[in-house]
Amino acid sequence: MQLLPVIERYLRTSNTPPTRFGREAVRDPRFVMDLRNGREPRGRTVARVLRYIERMTGRKP
């Protein structure tokens, strides 16, 4: 699964700034920017982000 497109879709639909998303989802305000620059998150981080999006939207991404 490609995580960045899921995050980008969430950011667009929720009108959430990338830094806020990173801070709330994984306690890293640079998280989205780092992903955009090629960072590969670990499996646990991917799961954490997906749980955050699910919690915020009420549905699985």
d(CA 54, CA 58): 5
Q: Give me the pLDDT at residue 59, please.
A: 85
Contact 5/50 with Cβ under 8 angstroms?
no
Q: Which of 6, 15, 14 is nearest to 56 (CA)?
A: 14
The residue with tokens 């639909």 is 13
Q: Which of 56, 11, 57 is nearest to 3 (CA)?
A: 11
| pLDDT digit string (tens) for the chain, length 61 residues | 799 999 999 999 999 999 999 999 999 999 999 999 999 999 999 999 999 999 999 888 7
d(CA 35, CA 3): 9
Structural domain count, the chain: 1
Domain boundaries, position 13: 3-57
